Chain A
Amino acid sequence: MTAPWLSAMTAPNTLVAAGGVAAVGFAAGVVGSLALLRKRPLVGDAAAHATLAGVAGGFLATGRRDLPTLLAGAFVAALAALGVLVLIRRFTRTRDDAATGIVIGVSFGLGIALVSGLPRWGLAGSGGLEQFLLGHAAAITGRDAAVLAGVSLAAVLVVAAAVKEITLVAFDAAFAAAGGWPVDWIDALVAALVAAMVVAGLPAVGAVLVTALVVIPPVAARLWTDRVAAMLMLAGLFGLVAAVVGTLVSATRPGLATGPLVVLSAATIFAVSLVVVPRRRQEGS
């Protein structure tokens, strides 16, 4: 006779969902490390807050609410948010931090307005989209998990193929530009990868907190090592563990949002790393 919380954790559908989320956690850690090395750890935050409007837009445009459709909408919205940032920088004298704040606040407001409005406009099957706010891993089916794992694998493969170029740009963008490397395109690739992982993290972690999935594991991994390959692997591992722990714990009680638990697991890993790793010289990683 097992305890109810243990059987909830080990239920087959929970384990399948945890498998998909684990892949997302790993890839998010790897991709987030590149953004951290490029000193743009918060590039995903604007994209993350825009995804909610994308989820609602995806539903409005297609009338379908299967996960791939909604996530495709979210990815379009995430890229659009990054595009708007570029436009604000190009055409106004608003500074970057304020531009990011504008995109975060307005795109999220649009998402909230759409998600709250859809059911009241009498659109059938539009309820429950607010689970993308804080994440709800229990809603992930086996097919969804396979999609998430596929996206994660693709992101990791892209990183593996381009890691040399991305590292070069991250450590010395001026040198890379002088050497003829397409720095802007490599930056755009990193931003797109971050957007992809933010979107993939949406079902489990939710729009509000998914930034943490690409920020905390890399920052924790950075404490342990100075080597890029080791940092990528470690950040992936931390992300994987945090995602699995958060998913399993949230399964123990119905109605428990997954996102906060994933983030708190990652924060715990970070805190332990901070205590365990010997003090490093201050070098502003």
Chain B
Amino acid sequence: MTAALASLAGGEWSLHGWALATAAVTAAACSLVGTLLVVRRMSLFGDALAHAVLPGIVVAALAGGRPGGPAVFAGALAAALVTVWLTQALRAAGGVAEDAGSGVVFTTMFALGVALVTAAGRGAHLDAACILAGDLTFVPFDTIDLAGLPVPRAFIGGGLVLSLLVAAAWATWKLQVFTAFDAAAARAAGLPVAAVTGGLLAATALATVASFQAVGAILVVALLVVPAAAAELLVRRLHHVAFVAMLLAIVGACLGYLAAWRWSVNEAGAIAVVLGLEYLAAAFLAPEDGIVARALAAAGFRWRVACEDVLAALWRGEESGAAAAPSATLRGRAAGLWLRAAGDIERTAAGWRLTPRGRRDAEMVVRSHRLWEAWLGRHVELPTDHLHPPAEWVEHHLGAGVRQRIEAELGAGGSDPHGSSIPPEA
């Protein structure tokens, strides 16, 4: 990695720098569009479109259009429109379900594109491997002079598309959010939902074409879906998701490019793998929804239940005059040790005993339990011996506020259906 950085700063800087910059702008453009596709559950539609624009690109290229030029963009948009129209027409005319129809159309369009490329042979600025996997290393050699500075054509195309998409997203963001989360309500409110969806499809086609030369058809799918899905796990609000997705995509593109350089593998493939690792990290480490966070929260809750059960058992023992010990299960014993260290229970010659602080906590658990039994006894037709199990579960979930409301409804100073008195609020 150090060697890679040193080389970037040295003579190869301009070549690597331009390739990196191109990868970064196309990644940002794709992930911005992808955010809307993912929240609208249209990820696979983006996948289909990324395949289906190929014949449009090939026909335009065979007709003399340059990669990244306006003709190629027009061809891709036309192919995208044909795909959407064909899928809808199959559903209307043949009764073919949308996913099956899309499966027929996008594979056929892609096959047509590949067949055209292989039939035309060389000389069309395209070949089959490049279509699938892109060719970032070639990007810095196809340049246009901008004020004396040779700038890669793919970078200019990608940069223009990115600026256009950011501007369009900025201008229509509220509309996008409304449409994404409640299309029916947006339609009822008189908003142009069909135009928004159409615009999203056009944006997908644009981002796809801009990325095609740099990263190829399949990586476009990864760039559309993976950063957005990862960002969705990390943050909630849609504009945060879009921002984080673009950030993840740019970082992924840069790290992937360096990894490809280090291990001499295809850049597009390496970038896709890095994006996958980012998603994996997000799935595990997301602050609220991450696998680790949820496992910790669940373990923390089970631990609290174990401690509260120990306290409540001791309290009931004191109430009935029988000595009680912390539960004999491993977790119960561990909870007992913890509570002793925390000063909630203590060991005397007569056995385990609650300290004043532990007694207060235990009373609140028992209070929750008996209030819930009393409430169930009044409102739910359950036999009295069936009230204990639900209360045993709910006792760990009731806070002071809920307890007071239940007590206010039942009338103060009551007892539970078994006749035991309900301890007062601390």
Contacts and interface: CB of A to CB of B under 8 A. Distances in A.
- A and B part of one assembly: yes
Interface of A: 36, 39, 41-42, 45, 49, 88, 91-95, 97-102, 104-106, 108-117, 120-121, 130, 133-134, 208-209, 211-212, 215-216, 219, 222-223, 255-257, 259-261, 263-264, 267, 270, 274, 279-285
A72 B81 CA distance: 39
B269 interface: yes
B44 A110 contact: no
B215 to A, nearest CB: 9
Contacts of A95: 38, 41, 43
Contacts of B119: 256
Contacts of B118: 255-257, 260
Given A114-B269, A216-B104, A219-B96, 8 more contacts: A91-B291, A92-B233, A105-B224, A109-B222, A109-B268, A111-B269, A113-B272, A263-B111
A274 B91 CA distance: 11
A257 B128 contact: yes
A106 B223 CA distance: 9
Contacts of A109: 218-219, 222, 268-273, 275-276
A9 B170 CA distance: 57
Contacts of B225: 98, 101-102, 105
7 contacts: A101-B229, A106-B276, A112-B132, A257-B128, A263-B107, A263-B108, A281-B95
A114 B270 CA distance: 9
Interface of B: 38, 41-44, 46-47, 90-97, 99-101, 103-104, 107-108, 110-112, 114-115, 118-119, 128-129, 132-133, 218-219, 221-226, 228-229, 232-233, 260, 263-266, 268-273, 275-276, 279, 283, 289, 291
A231 B378 CA distance: 60
Contacts of A106: 222, 226, 272-273, 275-276, 279
Nearest to A270: B104
B256 to A, nearest CB: 9
Contacts of B128: 133-134, 257
Closest 7 CB pairs of A and B: A109-B272, A105-B222, A113-B269, A101-B225, A106-B276, A112-B269, A212-B107
A174 to B, nearest CB: 19
Interface centre among A39, A98, A115, A133 (most CB of B within 10 A): A98
B286 to A, nearest CB: 9
Given A91-B283, A279-B93, A42 B99 contact: yes
B233 A134 contact: no
B260 A113 contact: yes
Interface centre among A223, A255, A267 (most CB of B within 10 A): A267
B265 A212 contact: no
A280 B91 CA distance: 11
Contacts of A281: 95
Contacts of A257: 114-115, 118, 128
A36 B100 contact: yes
Given A109-B222, A121-B264, A267-B104, A223 B94 contact: yes
Contacts of A105: 218-219, 221-226, 272, 275-276
A62 B35 CA distance: 41
Nearest to B256: A109
B44 A42 contact: yes
Contacts of A112: 132-133, 218, 266, 268-269, 272
Given A91-B291, A274-B93, A280-B94, A264 B115 contact: yes
Contact of B103 (A42, A110, A256): A42
A117 B100 contact: no
Nearest to B263: A117
B41 A97 contact: yes
Given A120-B264, A284-B95, A208 B110 contact: yes
Contacts of B93: 274, 279
A248 B127 CA distance: 23
A132 to B, nearest CB: 12
Contacts of A284: 91, 95, 97
B218 A110 contact: no
B47 A101 contact: yes
A282 B92 contact: yes
Contacts of B43: 95, 97-98, 100-101
Nearest to B89: A274
A282 B260 CA distance: 50
A223 B272 CA distance: 38
